[in-house]
Amino acid sequence: MSHRISSDVGAQETDITNETLLQHHSEAPYIHKVGIPPKQNLMQEFTATLKETLFADDPLRWFKDQPQSRKFIIGIQSVFPILEWGRHYNLAKFRGDLIAGLTIASLCIPQDIGYSKLANLPPQYGLYSSFVPPLIYAFMGSSRDIAIGPVAVVSLLLGTLLHKEIDPAKNPNDYRRLAFTATFFAGITEVMLGFFRLGFLIDFLSHAAVVGFMGGAAITIALQQLKDLLGITKFTKETDIVSVMRSVWGTVAHGWNWQTIVIGVTFLAFLLLAKYIGKKNRKLFWVPAIAPLISVILSTFCVYITHADKHHVAIVGKIKKGVNPSSVKEIFFTGTYLAKGFKIGVVAGMIALTEAIAIGRTFATTKDYQIDGNKEMIALGTMNVVGSMTSCYIATGSFSRSAVNYTAGCQTAVSNIVMSCVVLLTLELITPLFKYTPKAILASIIISAVVGLIDIEAAILIWKIDKLDFIACMGAFFGVVFVSVEIGLLIAVSISFAKILLQVTRPRTAILGKLPRTTVYRNILQYPEATKVPGVLIVRVDSAIYFSNSNYIRERILRWLGDEEEYLKENNQPRIQYLIVEMSPITDIDTSGIRALDELHKSLKKRDIQLVLANPGPVVMDKLHSSKFTDMIGEDNIFLTVSDAVVTCSPKIEQA
């Protein structure tokens, strides 16, 4: 009897237990399984990767579902955007473009004469480079605000690199020919980058490195102008600050010309005051824009009536009159200078392209319109290829002129056409009037122009945001100032690549904890209130896992685990039974990465710890499945979220 009663009680207890378990199971959250993306064949995978790499903007989207005649028109408009926006052009827009074009023309004429000196070329070549290239760009470019012409940094870089190959004083003809050759290959480089949609390559030169390089180049350019500003006749050919200052102070007793100094310093003060006025009141934008031309006119008149050139005040001299002569036959297509021209052109072209794209994007963002980076490269490259055949040297977007163009109210690229027409009239009619222009005034104009390239605020912001970026910035800056322009550029590129390699080979990892009253797991260093789950270690890897970092990631996770186990042992807390790897930031993984996960899994098995994966992306999940790694750890140990993994795997779940 008692046996029957005990049996009934036992059966009743079993039923209650089963009912409780079923109730608990029904209340447990539904655990989603991680989906495996549909398998693609080799051609589909290759096509998808190629499209995302080179054609992410889907350039052919405008051609879809269009008749053949319309496709032809769209194709022509894609090459010459002026045919598209030109249909909606009107007198109101032309009024804005006319004012802007005349304004930037008044700025570019004296600047071009000075910048050609930086490139060690006669002054007319600077004017040539503001006539043909802007016309080509106006028809092919997609930016409404960028102003085309020679710029200080590229002129200095080109002049420095060319001077290392040929002395312009001893062999001016071959020097000029090498300049045209470098311009030709600079254009070819830019066209190829745009045609093959490789514009992302210029992004490897980081913003911080560009800020440092531009600042260093500005200092170097300003130092080079001390020769003409002080009237020094014998000056060093080196560009580093030590050599320049030694040359300056070494001639202070007998090499300076006081008349030149008076002219240069007086007008430099005037130009800087004009820039200050324009900066304080945007409505007076025309003051700094027209100040260089006024300075040239006044200083030329003063030199002419006082005969200052007879008192050792250096003047520009005769500037060749007329439009650009053809230079097709002057380009080196054979011989020893071909390779040298190619090398110089690639370097100078990349720098010119970087500056132009940065300027175009800046003003496009300000006016809220889009520019096509690849079209820009083709347009810039084409204008330089054509320019090399019409006696021009490398032209690109000028920040100072583009800023004036924008402020003056330009509406379209027609402002470049207006500027080009003014330069044409200057070449045909006015160049003889520049004969008595003192070189000191050109030095003053260049110094006042490059001052804006020194961006101290940007450098301070870089220091606050990222110390590695600041090192790249300062490395480029000091490399240019203390060694040379090309060394500074090399340092800028090297540090940019070093930063990329450092971030790829040493990615960030973090231990995650549960935020109170949520199912969210975050970095315990960022959220101190986040608590660890007993018996579980949750780790996040903030990078793709490749051959370059796979061993580091495996060792770093094991080091996290070792530190945690040691801490738990010292505090008599339950040991780790599960290691959960949060994989949502892991965008990709290669065979080395999968091998590292395999080795991590084996190491954990020896410690009686289960490896669990949370939220692998489609690319990662596909590769894990293809490698059979999912079978090795069990698909039951792969979860959609960290919360699902903790609910399923944790021996003790701390209720917040």
Output the pLDDT for position 489: 83
At 171, is the pLDDT very low, low, confident or very high (cuts 50, 70, 90)? Answer: very high
Summarize pLDDT for 406-417 with one digit per residue, the tens: 988 899 999 999
Residue 582, strand partner residues: 540, 614
- pLDDT tens-digit series, residues 180-191: 999 999 999 999
Average pLDDT score over residue span 279-286: 87
For residue 344, what are its two tokens?
């110089």
Pairing state of beta strands 610-614 and 578-582?
Answer: parallel
pLDDT of residue 206: 82
Answer whether 114's CB lies under 8 Å from 443's CB: yes
Selection from 622, 641, 268 nearest residue 445 by Cα: 268
**100, two tokens:** 């802007």
H/E stretch holding 96: helix 91-118
The whole-angstrom separation of Cα 290 and Cα 284 is 11
Q: What's the rounded Cα separation, in Å, for the pair 641 and 650? A: 14
Instruction: Give the SS3 label for residue 470.
Output: helix
Q: What is the spatial distance between Cα 150 and Cα 325, in angstroms, rounded to a whole number?
A: 18
Percent residues over pLDDT 70 in the chain: 92
Categorize the per-residue pLDDT at 123 as very low, low, confident or very high, splitting at 50, 70 and 90: very high
pLDDT band at 55 (very low <50, low <70, confident <90, very high): low
Q: Which of 2-6, 199-203, 526-530 has the lowest mean pLDDT?
A: 2-6
| Residue 171 structure tokens | 């062999």
Mean pLDDT of 99-118: 94
pTM score of the predicted model: 0.81
pLDDT computed for residue 610 by the predictor: 93
41-50, 204-213, 447-456, 548-557: range with lowest mean pLDDT:
41-50
Determine the pLDDT at residue 551. 95
Which band of pLDDT confidence, cut at 50, 70 and 90, is reported for residue 133? very high
Confidence band, pLDDT 50/70/90 cuts, at residue 159 = very high
Compute φ and ψ for 511, nearest 5 degrees.
-95, 135
For residues 248-256, average pLDDT:
85
Buried b (16+ CB within 10 A) or exposed e, 543-562: bbbbebbbebbbebbbebbe
- 622-633 burial: b if 16+ Cβ within 10 Å, else e: bbbbebebbeeb
Question: Residue 27 pLDDT > 70, yes or no?
Answer: no
Q: For 8, phi and psi rounded to 5 degrees?
A: -65, -40
- Mean pLDDT, rounded, for 112-140: 96
Calpha distance 384→327 (Å, rounded): 13
- Tell how strand 521-523 and strand 396-398 pair up: unpaired
* Nearest Cα residue to 245 out of 535, 482, 489: 482
Identity of the amino acid at 497: F
Q: Give yes or no for residue 655 having a pLDDT over 50.
A: no
Lowest mean pLDDT among 125-134, 193-202, 309-318: 193-202
Q: How confident is the model at residue 54 (pLDDT cuts 50, 70, 90)?
A: low
Task: Give the pLDDT mean for 166-173.
Answer: 94
**8 Å CB contact between 184 and 385:** yes
CB 99 within 8 A of CB 412: no
Query: Measured between alpha carbons, how far is residue 118 from residues 156, 157, 269, 323 in Å?
Result: 5, 9, 22, 22
